[in-house]
Structure 1
Amino acid sequence: MAEPGSPRGQTRRLLSATKLSALLRPQHVVTIKDSASVDQTLRVLAAHRILSAPVVVGAGGACTEGGGGSATGPSGADKAPEVAGFIDIRDLLSSFLHEVDLKALADAKMLKRMRILEEQGARFAGKCIKDLRSLGSDGWFYPQHAAENASLREIIHDGFLHPKDSKRVVFGGTRSRQVVHRLALFDSAGHLSHVISQSDVIKYLYEHVDDMGPLADASITDNGFIKGAVISVRPETPALDAMVLMEEKNISAVAVVNAQGAIIGNFSISELRTIMAEHFGSLALPVGEFLALEHGTEYAGYAIPSSGSSPGGSNAAEELKRIEDSQAHRFAADRTMRRRESHPGYEVGQTLITCSPDASLHEVLDKIVANRLHRVYVCNDSLVPCGVVTLTDILHKLVDA
């Protein structure tokens, strides 16, 4: 155990002395009925710009194809609804991947892929969320009276990082979580009163970073955050393939890197928070173009497209290399660079926030809170990512300190 006066001891003291009640503020909790359709669920999440919501068992019969039942649960009802778990964008997209024939898509050119995905998306939109194949439990439930008196360290360790119900399977789904990103509190009557996320905890800790002692001033390298290779894709990789990779690796994001390995974008679940079922066809697009469209711009990498060809076709990689090697492309790229602000991520319409291996934990927390991020990529002077610091990584470090 860390000595009280040591750097680790200061962090431990901060977490142990702080009660969860210090983080609680009045809030409206958005819930979704288990009888809601995929389409209704996506629209509720997009309208509130949230990645997940608690699911309650709604009154009435099962949801039928075409969407039956209200997406949101009754607000202020006298009788507390039965809570089934959480549902998030990742659950929905993972379930959609199980609906499509990935091999058939791999053999199809981009336009045919888009048509297949649009057709599958239209059918998937009407499915009832409680009947989906891949559902998880990316959340934890806690009685409010107990949570208010629990220390922040207990909440982080027992709630987010080692949830007691991590093996619980909701709705008969297939996904379980070793780590969760949010917890919901319910009052004595069983009504949901708060949803606390990892981001909320990180923000509170940042506001009290001076109480963390030397740990906050140590570099992320010295704190052991840089470990293993950063999983990445090229911008010409279809967005659907990037999603499949994320599912296989059980991660929430991949870096998008150019031919030199420099990061030019971040493709994450957060980027998909406003996607609708009718937009699933766009997942056939190259991930660089998909991100650019999401951010209302054009992908700069396609400044000089080849006549009669599409960057997302079956020979996309070869075609892009030929374009990159051409004199015309180099001229166009130079002119584009002069026209555009060349900050990291500009090519896909993002503003990437990165840090160096020498950055302190305090500096990384500042970037995360100021920009409302879930991760920061650690890059060298050439913007080649050598690590990534996530909210979960930070909580693990702090609670183990």
Structure 2
Amino acid sequence: MSTGELQEAVELRSLLSATQLKQVLRPQHVVNIKDSASVDQTLRVLAAHRILSAPVVVGNSGEAGVPPPAGADKAPEVCGFIDIRDLLSSFLHEIDLKALADAKMLKRMRILEEQGARFAGKCIKDLRSLGSDGWFYPQHAAESTSLREIIHDGFLHPKETKRSVFGGTRSRQVVHRLALFDAEGHLSHVISQSDVIKYLYDHIDEMGPLAEASITKIGFVKGQVISVRPETPALDAMVLMEEKSISAVAVVNAQGAIIGNFSISELRTIMAEHFGSLALPVGEFLALEHGTEYAGYAIPSSGSSPSSSNAADELKRIEDTQAHKFASDRSMRRRESHPGYEVGQTLITCSPNASLHEVLDKIVANRLHRVYVCNEQLMPCGVVTLTDILHKLVEA
């Protein structure tokens, strides 16, 4: 290890080890969900608060999404977390994917709507695919627990606890949030990877030379990013994410340039009655979610010019060419505006030469969970996630 690398490691370890969890905590209202809640109730609570996950409780917790009353005689028992990914994964287990694959889009939509209506009434504790994308920690321990311990033992290598017992089939080696409970068992805080990243960003001057190192040098540019085309059905993109155990895929055009991001976060406001829209192509689904239209399908490949045999055909060809030119010009203006404009997103990317500091700037300012690393042609060659950053910080 060089002198510079040694200094970098010492400064970073000092920041992570000297910081206690209590320094990261802020007053907050913790939303929880009863284990007897239905899928429909759970989706509505998550959407109303624009959150991806919430702790699940049993006992005298009142209605779904409502914390127990102050001074309640008995605190609710915390039994796990429920998140959008659990719900969507369970839905995938409820439907016949092979039958859907052979169906046309309108039939797919009908099947998904019918299945979604039945799925909405299920109780969340009876779902097949439930995870533990959360970890539980006694609040009093926050007084003496370092940020490094929370990152390593909490988020990256969570230990089994008696409180993480909410049934299901999914197991995760990494979790994205942890809940603190007081001596009476009441939930006091939920802290996420984003909260930790924000704290570290606010103290980036104490991070040492690592903050100015390029993400290529750090190891975030790996040359392969899992992606789909905009015409891929949203449901198929979800199946791919489930198979790969990832929470997002890049959406790329025919040239391989990124035009969007399809992630679990994009589904945070979905309701069971909207499941039919998962039959739509990803490009249209994202555009619909962001209140715009995806014009990509109206743009022919370059050099295409349909032949005509009479005046009427020639007139139609001219009209089509003009329409195609309008759509192409419109799409070009969108691409010149910013990546993601075609599907209504503001897609934040970075170059392989960007520093970790620059990437953290983008993540914190835009409240992101990932940043795609792209070359000059906007072809993705890497992705930097919050989990990746925490791994690198602990390794350093």
Tell me, yes or no, whether TM beats 0.5.
yes
1:105 equivalenced with 2:120 (yes/no) = no
CA distance in 1, matches of 2:12, 2:170: 33
| Matched ranges for 1:300-311 at <5 A | 300-303=295-298
**TM-score normalised over the length of structure 1:** 0.89
Specify the SS of the correspondent of 2:330. helix
- RMSD (Å) for aligned C-alpha atoms: 2.3
Q: Which moves more between the two structures, 197-206 or 145-154?
A: 145-154
Residue in 2 that maps onto 1:372: 367
SS of equivalent residue, structure 2 residue 191:
strand
Q: 1:2 to 1:398 in 2, by over 3 A?
A: farther
Q: Deviations over 1:241-274 (max 9, x none)?
A: 0000000000000000000000000000000000
Q: Using the TM superposition, give the Cα deviation of residue 98 of structure 1 relative to its aligned residue in structure 2, in angstroms.
A: 0.2
Post-superposition CA distance 1:93-135 (Å, at most 9, x none): 0000000000000000000000000000000000000000000
- Unpaired segments of 5 or more residues in structure 1? 61-67, 306-325
Q: Secondary structure at the match of 2:216?
A: coil
AA at the equivalent of 1:300: A
Query: Could you tell me which residue of structure 2 aligns to residue 194 of structure 1?
Result: 189
CA drift of 1:342 comes to: 2.9
2:48 alignment counterpart: 47
Change (3 A) 1:168 1:267: farther
Secondary structure of 2:110's aligned partner = helix
Q: Secondary structure at the residue paired with 1:267?
A: strand
Residues 1:216 and 2:217 aligned together: no
SS in structure 1 opposite 2:80? Answer: strand
1:75 to 1:240, Cα distance in 2 relative to 1, 3 A = farther
Normalising by structure 2, what TM-score?
Answer: 0.90
- May I ask how many residue pairs the two structures share in their alignment? 375
Cα deviation for residue 338 of structure 1 reads 6.1
Within-5 A mapping of 1:296-335? 296-303=291-298, 327=321, 330-335=324-329
Contact kept, 8 Å, 1:31 with 1:53, in 2: the verdict is yes
| Aligned mates of 1:291, 1:227 — CA distance in 2 | 27
Q: Within 5 A, what are the aligned runs for 1:69-108?
A: 70-76=64-70, 77-108=72-103
TM-superposition CA deviations, 1:269-310 (whole Å, max 9, x none): 0000000000000000000000000000001213469xxxxx
For the Cα contact (< 8 Å) 2:116–2:275, is it kept in 1? yes
167 and 115 in structure 1: CA distance in 2 versus 1, 3 angstrom threshold: farther
**Could you say which residue in structure 1 is the equivalent of 2:57?**
56
Aligned to 2:317: none
Residue in structure 2 matched with residue 10 of structure 1 by the alignment: 11
SS at match of 1:222: helix
Distance 1:116 1:388 in 2: 35
| Alpha-carbon spacing, 1:363–1:214, altered in 2? closer, same or farther (3 Å) | same
Closer, same or farther in 2 for the Cα pair 1:328/1:104, shift >3 Å? farther
Change (3 A) 1:106 1:328: farther
Instruction: Tell me the distance in 2 between the aligned counterparts of 1:36 and 1:71.
Output: 9
Partner AA of 2:34 in structure 1:
K
Give how far 1:78 is off: 3.5
Greater Cα radius of gyration, structure 1 or 2: 2
Q: How does 1:239-318 map to 2 (within 5 A)?
A: 239-303=234-298
> Which residue pairs with 2:130 in the alignment?
135
Aligned to 1:343: 338
The code of the aligned residue for 1:53 comes to A
- What amino acid is the match of 1:181? H
Residue identity (%): 84
CA distance in 1, matches of 2:203, 2:260: 31
Q: 1:338 to 1:234 in 2, by over 3 A?
A: closer
- Aligned equivalent of 2:37: 36
* CA apart distance, 1:388: 0.1
Structure 2 residue matching 1:180: 3-state secondary structure: coil
**Which letter maps to 1:165?**
E
The 3 A distance-change label for structure 1 pair 2 and 268 is farther
CA distance in 1, matches of 2:59, 2:326: 56
Secondary structure (helix, strand or coil) at the match of 1:54 reads: strand
In 2, are the aligned partners of 1:137 and 1:166 still within 8 Å (CA)?
Answer: no
CA distance in 1, matches of 2:115, 2:59: 27
Q: 1:235/1:168 Cα in 2 relative to 1: closer, same or farther (>3 Å)?
A: farther
Contact 2:296 2:331 in 1 (8 A): no
